[in-house]
Structure 1
Amino acid sequence: MNVVDILVQTAERLPEKTAIVFKDQKISYGQVKDLVFKAANGLRASGIGENMHVGLMMTNRPEYVISYFAILAVGAAVVPINPMFKERELVYALNDSESTALIYESHFSNVVINAKEGFITTRTLLAFSGETTPNCEWNKLLDHQPLESFIQRKAEDTAQIIYTSGTTGRPKGAMITHGNVLWMTKTVTDIQETSEKDKVVVVLPLFHAYAKLICLLCPFYKGATSYIEERFIPDSVLELIDREKITFFPGVPTMFTMFVHSPKLKEYDYSSLRIFGSGGASIPVEIIERIKKEIGVEILEGYGQTESTVMITCQPLHGEKVVGSVGVPVPGLELRLVTADDQDVPTGEVGEIIFRGQNAMKGYYNKPDATAETIRDGWVYTGDLGYQDESGNLFIVDRKKDMIIRGGYNVYPREIEEVLYAHPNIIECAVIGEVNDIFGEEIVAYVVTKGEVKEEELSTYCKQSMANYKVPRVFKFIDELPKTTTGKISKVPLRQNDTKRNVK
């Protein structure tokens, strides 16, 4: 067993089929396999082998894919590194994961050079300087003969150590096993009915768990074609969907918000699309409805987290989708909603989401206490709050830590955000709680608008749709909301008041 099986089996079945399209370059499955096995032999010659951990710090490009599979082929585990990391963050991830080596794009050389004095275990640095630079360390890997066979692993062996976003402290490395990845890949392709006829846009950053499995491993498992894009440019993606007859676009809510506000939205033909997939955060109902109206495609929304490999629930591909829900548990997975003392809550009532199944991580690397806190009796505690209807559809209410308690009332920011998103002049919004001497916490809404909107107008608007205690007392008009590299709105800087300089 090895995640590399996904590539090898498809390359043997469809060697001439195009696996990757990147700019003007097309690479077949047979070519990808050959490059992977050459790079793997080069890694082995560099001293990288079984049970080692290798950092991978690259933007979206074919070399990321080749490096990912090559690391796994020699029996090592991949440690995906966010390419936007600065020196301190890079040092932490490599040292915490005890990575032996780092493969990186030369664009980030300054960060790596400035950080390397802090590396404890990372001794081998392999830089990729571009396809036309044959003497760069990464390209030298390809000078080797292909590896004769890849290393077999056990289901419980770690395939990748993926760091959480660190919203509740220092980031933790979730150990995802070969068994986790292979089971999740097969399960998701079955849900989405992926086939070799599919054409998938890869614009989500490949270092992220969601992108790697949905945009890379699932298409490779079935022999589909992945169109790798370096960055998300809304109008360019819309044009690509039309020109290449794309069948599947996986994104995050911010991307769909940008689609509906694009002046070129109605210029293209989207009839080839089978699926718009959304994950990473809950998508506002208003955006779902506008996408369906303007493009004619339903968004298949799912829910998961790093600790779940990728997915916990998903809406059905066929049949009725309950708007506002993130679907039902994926087949083979158990899900519960519990109180603070681990009692199951009745249908329709809010509880913490916990799950167990073959997608559950092995634990956090070198963090037994954090692992014991998150995994209890085989159940993974997500820290997310939600409720289920009688049909089992899950509705995300909020992160447990994001819930606002104002004057003794529990207030869920997402409910307020849904109301604000329905306002015709609001593009994006984020609601947080700020410390208040009288009420404990006060509700503050950060909003990005088009045209002039006054605070009194928004307050009146909210009062028409929700109880008075839920209405934000403060509205802060901002040019742009802070986001993670996956495009997900980040509330951490808002809480830290890092965006004050942008407030209008």
Structure 2
Amino acid sequence: MRFLARLASHGRKPAVVTDAGELDYEALLGLVGARHDELAAAGIGPTSVVGLEIEDEVEHLVFSLALFAAGASHMTLATHDPVAVKQMLAARSGMTHHVASGQVTARGGDGPAQPPPEGVVYLKTSGTTGDMNIVAFTETQIGEQSGRHPEYAGERLLRLASIEHNNSTRHRLYCAFMGGVNVFRPHGEFDVADFCRRHAVTCLDISRMHASDLANRGGIGRFEGVKLRTGGSAIPIDVRRAIEQRVTPLLFVRYASTESGAIAMAGPGEHDEDESVGRPLPGVELEVVDADNRPVPPGTTGRIRLRAAGMARGYLGGGEQSAARFRDGWFWPGDVGLLRSDGRLVVQGRQDDMMILNGLNIFPSEIERVLERHPAVSVAAALPLASTVHGQIPVAAVELRPGAQVTARELQDYARGQLALRAPRKVLVLDALPRNSQGKILRREIASAFQKALPRT
């Protein structure tokens, strides 16, 4: 079913909620129709690629749906992104038009090599560890991904990250497709628990950074009945327990990728020392395989591969990354992990991040888990540095809790006491770990800081 036809089937159910008021699906579609007419008058159709630079979340959603209706391709040019990033995205996508503050401007790009059969949304990968890639999803594919979130049909969803972020873009669309209520946050600082209460929010979706912050501040009882869902990076068991004890017992940890959407989910009662991300969601076929691409027995570490309805088939422009990550009908997210005998998935880290120190395999998560158990540490990021003597050496950077004091040497000794040879050879204490706009840690910038701080080995 085409996206707007699906939205029309929701009738007069509430669709959008803000502090300023509420829209039902009929009213939302009325706004979408008006924007569609404006886009059509500007010559936008299936041969167009449109960049949306709209900070207002409701207006952004309306334009995105109108572009689906026009059969055009579109992409977010986030207002918080550097100009160079926006120019790169425009060039790589062949952008033909730009929309900002309700104004449509022609850019003169080439558009798609072949007009798509239906509306398309482009999403960019995070680019935290390497070059940014772009994936294209049709209306149908977004609808197929939405099917892995049947709970959205009855949810009132609040996301703290703006719709300008990839993950929020797709989850706002999922929620609309399933007939849920998209609740949008106000501008500036606000009391999240009070906002959830006033607007009857049932699901709060936040980043690992926001989750740690909520856990540090507490607020048990203020989020009664609210499901808290997080993901995007590993969520240590100590953070999960702090959330359950200090915020809400209704904690869900998601494993997902830009290329596939949601893959697995761990819910209440499923959080344990293995830091499992739960069982693969219905419709997701997932395997852990060895170097010869053969499935390994339960409990054995290997490379993760998956296939699911609605997943991407390659990156825009193809190239080596497409060939490496999309093979034989499978998507290879680049993660290493294991499937337990109970079917739950444990993600141990990125394959490219695994360090080999004198033949010893070390995953960053091993180091991060230990350092984050130190009472002074808020967040840790471990990574390998090349060494002419040892092959690779493990190092780590940490961000401390407010008011905490500890030296790098004390943290290094603390880690060595628990990890022995797996401990980081150097620890940097930073005022704040570098992050992108979605709160994901930028390991490339941390590696650069280490290169400046360490002598060659």
TM-score, structure 2 as length reference: 0.90
**CA–CA separation in structure 2 for the residues paired with 1:337 and 1:19:** 39
Report whether the alignment pairs 1:461 with 2:414.
Answer: yes
**CA–CA separation in structure 1 for the residues paired with 2:62 and 2:450:** 38
Q: Secondary structure of 2:233's match?
A: coil
The alpha-carbon distance between structure 1 residues 232 and 418, as it changes in their structure 2 partners (threshold 3 A), is farther
Report whether the alignment pairs 1:311 with 2:262.
Answer: yes
The alpha-carbon distance between structure 1 residues 300 and 268, as it changes in their structure 2 partners (threshold 3 A), is closer
The alpha-carbon distance between structure 1 residues 416 and 434, as it changes in their structure 2 partners (threshold 3 A), is same
**CA–CA separation in structure 2 for the residues paired with 1:362 and 1:51:** 21
Report what 2:52 is aligned to.
56
Report what 1:149 is aligned to.
none
Instruction: Give the counterpart of 2:93 among 82, 91, 97.
Output: 97
CA apart distance, 1:282: 1.3
Deviations 1:216-268 (A, max 9, x none): 233323433222126685x6223322333321101111111111222xx3386
The alpha-carbon distance between structure 1 residues 261 and 429, as it changes in their structure 2 partners (threshold 3 A), is same
**In the alignment, residue 207 of structure 1 is paired with which amino acid?**
E
Instruction: Give the counterpart of 1:257 among 189, 212, 217.
Output: 212
Report what 2:62 is aligned to.
66
Q: Secondary structure of 1:266's match?
A: coil
Deviations 1:317-358 (A, max 9, x none): 7x6455611111111221111233323233222222111121
Q: Is the 8 A contact 1:245 1:272 kept in 2?
A: no
**CA–CA separation in structure 2 for the residues paired with 1:204 and 1:253:** 11
CA apart distance, 1:86: 2.0
Report what 2:181 is aligned to.
225
CA apart distance, 1:440: 2.1
**CA–CA separation in structure 2 for the residues paired with 1:201 and 1:403:** 35
The alpha-carbon distance between structure 1 residues 267 and 104, as it changes in their structure 2 partners (threshold 3 A), is same
Report what 1:445 is aligned to.
396
Instruction: Give the counterpart of 1:282 among 223, 231, 234.
Output: 234
Report what 1:176 is aligned to.
137
Deviations 1:362-418 (A, max 9, x none): 321222543232211101111111111111211111111211222221110111111
Q: Is the 8 A contact 2:277 2:347 kept in 1?
A: yes
The alpha-carbon distance between structure 1 residues 224 and 333, as it changes in their structure 2 partners (threshold 3 A), is closer
**CA–CA separation in structure 2 for the residues paired with 1:299 and 1:500:** 40
CA apart distance, 1:167: 4.4
CA apart distance, 1:186: 2.0
**In the alignment, residue 414 of structure 2 is paired with which amino acid?**
Y
**In the alignment, residue 257 of structure 2 is paired with which amino acid?**
Q
The alpha-carbon distance between structure 1 residues 224 and 232, as it changes in their structure 2 partners (threshold 3 A), is farther
The alpha-carbon distance between structure 1 residues 253 and 499, as it changes in their structure 2 partners (threshold 3 A), is farther
Report what 1:402 is aligned to.
353
Identical aligned pairs, as a percentage?
A: 25
Report whether the alignment pairs 1:237 with 2:192.
Answer: yes
**CA–CA separation in structure 2 for the residues paired with 1:457 and 1:486:** 31
CA apart distance, 1:208: 3.2
How many pairs were matched up?
447
**CA–CA separation in structure 2 for the residues paired with 1:252 and 1:40:** 33
CA apart distance, 1:105: 4.4
Report what 1:121 is aligned to.
109
**In the alignment, residue 109 of structure 2 is paired with which amino acid?**
T
Q: Is the 8 A contact 1:101 1:122 kept in 2?
A: no
Q: Is the 8 A contact 2:228 2:251 kept in 1?
A: yes
Report what 1:160 is aligned to.
121
Report whether the alignment pairs 1:8 with 2:27.
Answer: no
Deviations 1:420-471 (A, max 9, x none): 11211111111112223322222221111132112333233223432x1111
**CA–CA separation in structure 2 for the residues paired with 1:301 and 1:167:** 20
- Cα RMSD between the aligned structures? 2.8
**CA–CA separation in structure 2 for the residues paired with 1:103 and 1:379:** 35
**CA–CA separation in structure 1 for the residues paired with 2:331 and 2:272:** 25
CA apart distance, 1:66: 0.5
Structure 1, unaligned stretches of length 5 or more?
Answer: 124-152
Report what 1:201 is aligned to.
158
Report what 1:23 is aligned to.
19
**CA–CA separation in structure 1 for the residues paired with 2:278 and 2:253:** 7
The alpha-carbon distance between structure 1 residues 311 and 182, as it changes in their structure 2 partners (threshold 3 A), is same
**CA–CA separation in structure 2 for the residues paired with 1:101 and 1:418:** 46
Q: Secondary structure of 2:243's match?
A: helix
**In the alignment, residue 433 of structure 2 is paired with which amino acid?**
L
Report whether the alignment pairs 1:340 with 2:328.
Answer: no
The alpha-carbon distance between structure 1 residues 208 and 266, as it changes in their structure 2 partners (threshold 3 A), is closer
